[in-house]
Structure 1
């Protein structure tokens, strides 16, 4: 009987030590699927750091964190900019479909930090 109690105690303790899933990063929280995150990476990560604490591969391209934390950036202004390819710098010469604009806007806003304010430029 003592062996059964000991085994039960070991099982109970090991279950309480089980690892919980890591909290979602902003990337997985905003991207509802692997395909969405893959799109963000494919469309933007060649120049921009799309996740926090990363550096942009292109030193002239601001990180998504830097972009979204600029003073005056709102969901509306971000959506408007991403919707109009004529606003893009020359190296960003591509068009986004409306659902991709929504996806990028929503994702980028998850990176907004109310304590962090950067100048508009």
Structure 2
């Protein structure tokens, strides 16, 4: 009985977690936190302010870019990036925005 109840709670909570991803919020986060180094918009001709920082549209089009890979990346520290701490909902929204740039 407990297992069924737990499974039911997970199934009910899963859509609520997915609903927290808002690409519009993700675009706002990208502009506020990432645009000083990355080209964060959909313009295929835009250049990143830092030539070593990939454009988000290019990241989105990489075959290896998935929702999971972006979320793991955004939760990890990286040598050449500032250590920006984002809430789970912000990470979900930013990942959703980036994936949308690649039509995913």
Bucket of the pairwise TM-score, normalised by the shorter protein: 0.5 to 0.7
The alignment status of 1:64 with 2:52, answered yes or no, reads: no
Q: TM-score by structure 2 length?
A: 0.67
RMSD over aligned CA atoms reads 2.0
TM-score, normalisation: structure 1: 0.58
Where do residues 1-121 of structure 1 align in structure 2 (5 Å cutoff)?
Answer: 30-31=23-24, 37-53=27-43, 54-84=46-76, 86=77, 88-113=78-103
Gaps of 5+ in 2: 1-21
Equivalent pairs counted in the alignment come to 81
| Larger relative contact order (CA 8 Å, sep ≥ 6) | 2
Moved over 4 A (4+): none
Structure 1 residues without counterparts, runs of 5 or longer: 1-28, 115-121
Kindly indicate whether the alpha-carbon contact (under 8 Å) linking 2:29 and 2:94 is maintained by their aligned counterparts in 1. no
1:113 deviation in Å? 4.3
Distance change >3 Å, CA 37–CA 65, structure 1 → 2: closer
